[in-house]
Amino acid sequence: DGDVFKYYADGEWKKSGSGKSVAIINPTTRKTQYKVQACSQEEVNKVMESAKVAQKLWARTPLWKRAELLHKAAGVLKEHKAPIAECLVKEIAKPAKDAVSEVVRSGDLVSYCAEEGVRLLGQGAFLTSDSFPGNERTKYCLVSKIPLGVVLAIPPFNYPVNLAVSKIGPALIAGNSIVLKPPTQGAVAALHMVHCFHLAGFPKGLISCVTGKGSEIGDFLTMHPGVNCISFTGGDTGIAISKKAGMVPLQMELGGKDACIVLEDADLDLVAANIIKGGFSYSGQRCTAIKVVLVMESVADDLVEKVKAKVAKLKVGPPEDDCDITPVVSESSANFIEGLVKDAKEKGATFCQEYKREGNLIWPLLLDHVRPDMRIAWEEPFGPVLPVIRITSVEEGIHHCNASNFGLQGCVFTKDINKAMLISDAMETGTVQINSAPARGPDHFPFQGIKDSGIGSQGITNSINMMVKVKSTVINLP
Ligand code: G3H
């Protein structure tokens, strides 16, 4: 059936025996753009079995050879940037240029994994027993890093390629095999990315990509006894997964409510530019988007004016035209955002622009004078709607930030580095950016959330370290 994209298992493209498919709705046209296979549980079982077998051989493949293949895949990925970006435009309405950047960034990420892996994993440790009381120098401990086995990678819709390779790259260089379950929106871009790994010549079974309905294979995958590690990026589903998963290491990144704290001495032009970039790029559909501005009352009017002027310049429309604001991923997402906007309206927020929506396209909206009783003060819209809360003290800002159930990133704008450091220390988030909007990259930086924002730390180096286990061999002398 030429209309339905095949899934990838055992080094081959396959049709599901289920005879069923899942439709991918283009967020802009709201019509079916592509279809992917609805894999069955039986097919998942087979994939797990081949992943297990392939991993054993891969773990014995010299590290430099693993790195070589990853470099090759990175190159192929970059060569295929145009068709993959095209899928991102159609499946998730990512603006055309950002879609290309996502693929290029992914190629760079894979290469960096290869570079980092050969160095990091090529070293171990050597310990002697005589440092611990009661021991002679009769035991030598050799410590190395061994792979975990089969890594289950589940990326979200907003970076179906980049947040897939940020799991695949570290897993593979460390000697693991990969079972990828892409998000439905973005599945075809992910399949195309997997095709690049196929072309690079990885052994069959080492990488698989199963598509299908979460309701059918979601729990089945995450609770599968063949899985030795789960790396997940997404929303609340991650909390459910962490409760159901077996005794395997989890790496989770589950969103945020990143605060932007603006002090009186801040460079307001810099702040406004960063609020636009941080709050509205990819229409606010980033876990690291600025999701609440906490600004000192004395500079709030000026800042709001500057942001308003920049919002007016944002290009709203289809992703093909490389507009700044494009349709949000689904109708249900647009409805959810609208619910937050209505709640803010009823409770008296100041609308800096008129609320406007056509289909899944929501015009950028800045809400001023937001108060803590409004849902938008706490919830993640994942859309182009940004609340501004006016504060009278820094403590009030820190308090709001820390009262959130999320703790991904935050940012603070001030010219006083001492104040910035104190605020950074006080903010309960995985990262604090001083004088810039939150962001995950550069991709080798540690990336982590606390509280409901996640488990563990990502970034290339941390991901590689998370996807290995320590193995000791002790030589006992007579
Ligand atoms: O959506 C979550 C991503 O990890 C954010 O990545 O900061 O590069 O947009 P980004």
Distance 266 CA to ligand 1 centre (A): 25
What's the CA-to-centroid distance between 288 and ligand 1, angstroms? 5
User: Which ligand 1 atom minimizes the distance to the CA of 163?
Assistant: 4
C-alpha 89, offset from chain centre: 18
> How far does residue 110's CA lie from ligand 1's centre (Å)?
17
Alpha carbon distance 386, 293 (integer Å): 8
Question: If pLDDT is split at 50, 70 and 90, which confidence band does 2 have?
Answer: low
Which residue from 158, 232, 251 has its CB within 8 A of the most atoms of ligand 1, so it is best to mutate?
A: 158
Which residues are designated catalytic? 253, 287
Mutate to test the pocket of ligand 1, among 104, 105, 159, 333 (most ligand atoms within 8 A of CB): 159
Span from the CA of 52 to the centroid of ligand 1 (angstroms): 31
Mutate to test the pocket of ligand 1, among 167, 286, 463 (most ligand atoms within 8 A of CB): 286
The pLDDT value given to residue 357: 98
pLDDT digits 0-9 by tens, 223-266:
999 999 999 999 999 999 999 999 999 999 999 999 999 999 99
- 409 C-alpha to center of ligand 1: Å? 11
Q: Whose CA is nearest to atom 8 of ligand 1?
A: 440
Tell me: the pLDDT tens digits for 180-216? 999 999 999 999 999 999 999 999 999 999 999 999 9
* Distance in angstroms (rounded) separating the CA atoms of residues 288 and 317: 23
Per the listing, tokens 């056509």 go with 358
Q: What is the mean pLDDT of the chain?
A: 98
Judge whether residue 289 has pLDDT over 60: yes
On whether ipTM exceeds 0.95, the answer is yes
Say how many Å lie between the CA of residue 440 and the centre of ligand 1: 5
Ligand 1 atom closest to residue 440's alpha carbon, by position in its atom list: 7
Cα–Cα distances (Å) from 293 to 76, 387, 467, in that order, read 41, 6, 36
- Per residue, what are the HEC states of the chain? CCCEECEEECCEEECCCCCCEEEEECCCCCCEEEEEECCCHHHHHHHHHHHHHHHHHHHCCCHHHHHHHHHHHHHHHHHCHHHHHHHHHHHHCCCHHHHHHHHHHHHHHHHHHHHHHHHHHCCCEEEEHHHCCCCCCCEEEEEEEEECCEEEEECCCCCCCHHHHHHHHHHHHCCCEEEECCCCCCHHHHHHHHHHHHHHCCCCCCEEECCCCHHHHHHHHHCCCCCCEEEEECCCHHHHHHHHCCCCCEEEECCCCEEEEECCCCCHHHHHHHHHHHHHHHHHCCCCCEEEEEEEHHHHHHHHHHHHHHHHCCCECCHHHCCCECCCCCHHHHHHHHHHHHHHHHCCCEECCCCCEECCEECCEEEECCCCCCHHHCCCCCCCEEEEEEECCHHHHHHHHHHCCEECEEEEECCCHHHHHHHHHHCCCCEEEECCCCCCCCCCCCEECEECCEECEECHHHHHHHCEEEEEEEEECC
Q: For ligand 1, atom 2, name the residue with the nearest CA.
A: 287
pLDDT at position 391 is 98
Has residue 299 got a pLDDT over 70?
yes
| pLDDT tops 70 at residue 121 | yes
The mean per-residue pLDDT over the stretch 398-405 comes to 98
pLDDT of residue 150: 98
Q: How far is the CA of 370 from the centre of ligand 1 (A)?
A: 25
What pLDDT score was predicted for residue 383?
Answer: 98
Q: What is the pLDDT of residue 332?
A: 98
pLDDT of 120 reads 97
Q: pTM for this structure?
A: 0.98
81, two tokens: 């940037």
Mean per-residue pLDDT for 25-52? 98
Q: Which atom of ligand 1 is nearest to the CA of 286?
A: 1
Atom 6 (ligand 1): residue with closest C-alpha? 440
Backbone angles phi, psi at 391, to 5 degrees: -120, 155
Q: Which atom of ligand 1 is nearest the CA belonging to 158?
A: 1
* Segment 302-355, tens digit of pLDDT: 999 999 999 999 999 999 999 999 999 999 999 999 999 999 999 999 999 999
65 φ/ψ angles, rounded to the nearest 5 degrees: -70, -40
Pocket of ligand 1 (CB under 6 A): 158-159, 286-288, 439-441
Q: In the predicted model, is pLDDT for residue 1 greater than 70?
A: no
Question: Residue 447 CA: which ligand 1 atom is closest?
Answer: 4
CA–CA distance, 312 with 46 (Å, rounded to integer)? 53
Compute, in angstroms, the gap from residue 255 CA to the centroid of ligand 1.
9
